Amino acid sequence: MYLRISTRGSFKRMLFFRYLRLISILCLCLAFCSTSTLAAVLEPSADGTISDGRNAAYDGTPDAWDWIFNDTGYEGSITLNKSELNNWEDRVVWEYDLRGISLQPPLSATLTFTIRGPAVFPRPLTSVHVYAYTANLIEELEDYFVSPLRLAASVPVGAFQPPTAYTIDVSREVNEVLSSGAIAIGFRFQIDPDTLHAINQVFIDALDSDPTTKPALSIEANLRGDSDLDKDVDLFDFNDFLACMQGPEESLYVACDTFDFDLDGDVDLADRASFQVYATLYQASN
């Protein structure tokens, strides 16, 4: 009887220590997950939202006359009027604080935003340019003279188009900003300055008081183009890319998602050029 009771007690103690060990492991995992960000979705900084207005003639360059701080209500009128009587341009800019990103480049990043077309007919298809630039969130006048990092994407918007979500790849821009040591990145929305149509306008429905209605910047640890998940983009991944490159508007295999750099649902020559960019990004970070 004594042996039976003693064995049962030992078994209970063994279970207790196993549960204690399991709890300790779970706590360590939670602590690790909380300090190691595998993905982040950034909203525009509270002091990083800028909208411009019709303060001067359109001159094709960002300058002090093109910018004002947001007023109340909705922001997001993106306009270019090149008529002889009214030459003005409305741009919308958002800046994102990158100081909370603990991941090291190279990373994957996308910008998701919603644009609707003007209720005017006839109006040709309007091309909205999204420029990226290095920001500092100070919102001084000098910020407005900063040249864009580059044209990140161009999206078409038609008249009477309902609110439509767009997702563009901005990994190259985010990686370059993070690698430079800058604290923030900005994205400027404007009409293609080379458009031939005299009057162009689209809208981003974004409430001034609600950051969640503004474009979301998503940053992830996984590297686009790394098909074999070995943390690099190299010739092995390029072989997989060639197998996926079916051409424009061809059906995209699920396994080929990582090679659809422009997020247009296919893998073509445009994505091949982006693959080279990603391979260069990886080489530069190692």
Q: What digits encode the pLDDT tens for the residues 73-101?
A: 556 788 888 887 777 788 888 889 998 88
Tell me how many degrees the CA angle 286-261-131 measures, rounded to the nearest 5: 90
Question: How confident is the model at residue 205, as a pLDDT?
Answer: 74
H helices within the chain, ranges in order? 2-35, 171-180, 235-244, 269-284
Average the pLDDT over 103-114 and give the result.
85
Residue 107 is which amino acid? Answer: L
Whether the pLDDT of residue 216 is over 80: the answer is: yes
Residue 227: closest CA among 176, 278, 174, 175: 278
Mean pLDDT value across residues 3-23: 46
pLDDT at residue 225 greater than cutoff 90: no
Sheet with 164-169, edge to edge strand ranges: 39-42, 216-220, 108-115, 164-169
- Paired residues of 135 in beta bridges: 184
Whether residue 240 has pLDDT greater than 60: yes
Q: What's the rounded Cα separation, in Å, for the pair 167 and 216?
A: 9
Higher pLDDT, 140 or 176: 176
Neighbours of 178 (CB within 10 A): 21
pTM score of the predicted model: 0.74
Dist. CA 244–CA 260, nearest whole Å: 9
What is the percent of the chain where pLDDT is above 90? 14
C-alpha–C-alpha distance, residues 17 and 145, integer Å:
63
pLDDT by residue (tens digit) across 260-277?
887 888 888 888 888 887
Tokens of 116: 């609707």
Instruction: Residue count of the chain, please give it.
Output: 286
Tokens of 235: 């010739």
- Report how far apart, in Å, the C-alpha atoms of 152 and of each of 5, 25, 131 are: 72, 43, 5
Note the Cα 157 to chain centre separation in Å.
19
Q: What is the pLDDT of residues 129-139, one digit of tens each?
A: 999 999 877 76
Q: Is 80 exceeded by the pLDDT of residue 30? A: no
